[in-house]
Amino acid sequence: MSNHLRFYIDGAWVDPVVPARLDVIDPSTEEAFTAISIGSRADVDRAVAAAQAAFPAFSVTTKAERLALLRRVLEAYNERFEDIAAAVSQEMGAPLGFAREAQAWAGRGHMEATIAALEAFEFEHQRGTTRVVKEPIGVCGLITPWNWPLNQIVCKVAPALAAGCTMVLKPSEIAPISGIVFAEVMHAAGVPKGVFNLINGTGPDVGQVMAGHPGIDMMSFTGSTRAGIIVAKTAADTVKRVAQELGGKSANIILPDADFAAAVTKGVEGCFGNSGQSCDAPTRMLVPAGRHDEALAIAKAAAETHKVGDPKAADTVLGPVVSQLQYDKIQRLIESGIAEGATLVTGGPGRPDGLNRGYYVRPTVFGHVTPGMTIAREEIFGPVLSVLSYESEDQAVQIANDTVYGLAAYVQSEDKAHARRVAARMRAGSVYLSYPDWDTQAPFGGYKQSGNGREYADFGIHDFLEIKGIVGYGAA
């Protein structure tokens, strides 16, 4: 029996208190393929009560017990790996290979990284005659986005479990099915009842209620900066901790000593991955002014290799974007780039040729973009690259940092020492040198309006802990 219309509360699948449904749309067809139930304040109250009741016992479990639990979750996750990939592909339109090798893989990778971090984690240490103890913060509200559903669910659930917290998860209502499969994974792994709870719903009806709920001790939110501000304001009345991973407008500085063709080509690929729907995507490419047109020729050739189409087709590189709302926003921003005088190098408004339904976007490159243009300022969240020029390294750094965001930055150079010097000047939570592999042990989070707190590995565990000093404890 499908659990799509039920919530997972206190170790069981239950019906919502007040029945209400929402269709889940397949973005490749624009048609509903299932429906979920939408929660209310009463459902939040029930889930929070379950998490509160479970906290006293779970918070005092040993590290060894929590490691054993996380290993069971990983085993159950691997058993449902293909189901998770299939759910992600259908709910957000990701090509099946990408859904498997990147989306579902991310959940597995972060579970493994959290287990490794917990193995080495010390919850107590002595400082003179004071004992410093790190304890679980309490009941945690977790709100996750649609663009990397398993990445963000596991980046919150795994460290919360590792810390000894109990939790209520609200996945995105736009891409909720992978979250339901994940809840089935948690049940199969034998997570104690009440430790993990899942409610589906909208931001106003469930997310904001969680943020303001006096029974929730911490909110961990990933999503837009606009929504993050609402969560933080709502949480302020109960003075709960708020950890946030928000938007980005990441710069990719191609230094003069980079392998130019390779750097530009990989920059296009990085921007377009996941159909451009990544908060840390390198969406602003900064190139030496004298090589701007050369960069545009390389970027055009690279962009036009990205075949857009049916996520089920073996040769599809980019699927649709996730929703009509997202499609319309991207179209508006592409039109603004043209209206404000940027050079349209390839792509542009409308669907790619041969596609008359589905939220498909043309892979688009703009050249001769200036820092004040809308496409250089706003997060587009689609396969749209803006190429800007710089006259000097100092100017490149200034342009890169001239944004309200600070999630990521990218630096390309054949000289590692040079790249490191530029990286030190970036006001961003992550700086990627010469397109490195994904590192699940690295901290992830942002400066400025890209959020606060850090995820991944031991950094994520710290976010879910309180620090207690027992003064006068005595010598070790």
CB atoms within 10 A of CB 174: 20
d(CA 400, CA 435): 17
144-173 burial, b if ≥16 CB within 10 A, otherwise e?
bbbbbbbbbbbbbbbbbbbbbbbbbbbbbb
Q: Which of 140, 155, 165, 279 is flagged as catalytic?
A: 279
378 is catalytic: no
Query: Residue 443 and residue 451: Cα distance in Å, rounded?
Result: 13
Q: How far is CA 434 from the centre of its chain?
A: 22
Give strand pairing partners of 21.
37
Find the Cα–Cα–Cα–Cα dihedral 349, 354, 356, 360, rounded to 10°: -50
CA dihedral (4, 7, 13, 18) in degrees, to 10, reads -100
Contact at 8 Å (CB) between 170 and 200? yes
Kindly name the residue from 173, 245, 379, 455 that is annotated as catalytic.
245
CB-CB neighbours of 184 under 10 Å: 18
- Written as six digits, the tokens of 376 are 């250089």
| Alpha-carbon span 10 to 191, nearest angstrom | 10
Q: Which two tokens stand for residue 331?
A: 């179209």
The DSSP bridge partners found for residue 410 are 252, 432
Is residue 279 part of the annotated active site? The answer reads yes
Residue 196 near residue 186, CB atoms below 8 Å: yes
Q: Catalytic residues, which ones?
A: 245, 279
